[in-house]
Structure formats: C-alpha cells, structure tokens
Amino acid sequence: MATAKKAATSAKSTAAAKPAAKATAKPAAKASAAPKRAVNSAFMKPMTPSAELAAIVGAKPLPRTEVTKKVWDYIKNNKLQDATNKRMINADAKLKAVLKKPQVSMFEMTKIISTHLS
C-alpha cells in the first residue's frame, strides 16, 4: 500500500509540473556598439604648470592626467618613494619646491599639484 501511495503522489507531482515553455523565435536584436564613456573634459583640459612644476613636467600645457603621470615617472626614476611605506614620497630639491614639505603622502601630493596648475 505504501508503494501505491508513492506512485500516486509521484504521478500527481509529474502531472502538476508545468509544461515545458515553448521556444518562441524572437527577431534578432541588432548588435549595437556600447555607447562610449563620455570624456571628462575637466581632467582632459590642458593646464599650464607653475614654474616650479614646469621644472619637473615641462612648461607646455598638459591635462591633469598627464601631469600626474609625469610626476610619478619623476618620482620613480629618482627613487623618491619611501622604502618602507610606498605611499609616502620623499621630496628632493625640485619636488620640494612644488610640495613645500620634505615628505608627503601620494594622496596629498595630487592635491598640492593641482594648486600648481592654471
């Protein structure tokens, strides 16, 4: 009798199961290119560096992103990152003229550099 109940419940469960969904043919969506991200013109606007900063990055106007890259290149080429804490920058004579401190964090450095751009 127990097997009859099992058979009855399994028959109910298969009958109660939803029928397989029919595959409907949808028209193929046109493959459109994803819209390109808008360029932030504030970061890409060429800015003129101050005389102190120009000694490091050059005198011609550059976008903020390029100025930051050139400052980092200068820091790495002259090994000015602190050996134990790489987030700290030890200023040499040229960089000290810009930063006004012997040591700054990399976050503070970008803030200070932005004051030297006009």
Q: What is the CATH number of the domain that holds 60?
A: 1.10.245.10
103 is in which domain, residue-wise?
41-115
pLDDT over 70 (residue 39): no
Question: Does the residue 15 lie in any domain?
Answer: no
Query: E strands, the chain, where?
Result: 88-90, 103-105
pLDDT over 90 (residue 22): no
pLDDT over 80 (residue 35): no
Residue that wins the pLDDT comparison between 39 and 91: 91
- Residue-wise pLDDT tens digits, 77-110: 999 999 999 999 999 999 999 999 999 999 999 9
Domain total for the chain?
1
Question: Does the residue 110 lie in any domain?
Answer: yes
Question: Does the residue 11 lie in any domain?
Answer: no
3-state secondary structure of 110: helix
Question: Does the residue 14 lie in any domain?
Answer: no
pLDDT at 16: 58
pLDDT at 7: 59
**Cut 0.85: pTM above it:** no
Place of tokens 């751009």: 117
